[in-house]
Each structure stands twice: as C-alpha cells, then as structure tokens.
C-alpha cells in the first residue's frame, strides 16, 4: 500500500547575516587600508624648483663622467675653488649620469673640506 507523503518544505536560508559580515569586512579593510604608519611625520620633504635648464646651470660646476670638472667652460680642480665669504648662494653642481657614485661622493667630500657648506646637486626630472 502506498502512502502519500507530504512534500518537504524547503527551509528559507537567511542571507542577512552573511551580508552583514561582508559589509563589516568591507568597512574593516577600508579603515585598515587608510590608516597606516607615517614614519616621516616629523620630516619636511625636499622641495623642487621649476627653472629653465639654461638659467639653472649657468655658472655651475660641471663634472664629466671621468671626473674632470669645468666651470664657465674652463677646466678647474677642487683646490682652485674658493668659497665666497658671506655668500648665501649654493655651489651648483651638474654631474653626468654616467659619473660613478663613489667619484661623486669623493668630489663632494673634497668640496666640503675646501669650505663649501651649501652645495646643490642639479638633476632633471625623468619623463613619466
């Protein structure tokens, strides 16, 4: 004998708690991503100045890749350079990008030893 069975009702799955968890995770990750350590909060970053290249390098000390230096189209050595007394203008230096870092550091150390305390290394902004 066959008995008629009642069809089982499907229980409704409540998705509200899942949605709540997803939104809580979204808020957490938005907050965690926006709050970060700022190790440089007490440091003022360097500022760049926009000037024409010709104006910037006029009278600058030019250092070639082999370490030879020229200023105003004349060959110079570190010992010949004398800082001007009371001058607030920095010594402008344009170093070739092929110049080794070690040679540049030695030149900067020799200039500091010679009495130059305000030295500016001129660079150009790379194309982005």
How confident is the model at residue 26, as a pLDDT?
Answer: 93
Q: 92 and 60 in contact (C-beta within 8 Å)?
A: yes
Taking 90 as the threshold, does the pLDDT of residue 24 lie above it? yes
Taking 90 as the threshold, does the pLDDT of residue 25 lie above it? yes
Instruction: Report the percent of the chain where pLDDT is more than 70.
Output: 74
pLDDT band (50, 70, 90) for residue 91: confident
Q: How far apart are CA 69 and CA 93, in angstroms?
A: 10
């Amino acid at each position: 004998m066959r008995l008629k069975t009642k069809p089982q009702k499907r229980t409704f799955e409540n998705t509200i708690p899942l949605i709540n968890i997803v939104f809580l995770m979204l808020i957490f990750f938005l907050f965690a991503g926006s709050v970060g350590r700022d190790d440089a909060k007490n440091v003022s970053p360097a500022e760049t100045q926009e000037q024409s290249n010709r104006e910037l390098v006029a009278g600058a000390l030019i250092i070639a890749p082999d370490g030879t230096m020229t200023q105003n189209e004349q060959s110079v050595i570190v010992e010949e350079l004398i800082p001007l007394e009371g001058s607030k203008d920095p010594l402008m230096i344009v170093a070739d990008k092929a110049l080794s870092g070690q040679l540049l550091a030695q030149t900067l150390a020799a200039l500091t030893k010679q009495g130059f305390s305000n030295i500016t290394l001129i660079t150009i902004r790379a194309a982005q």
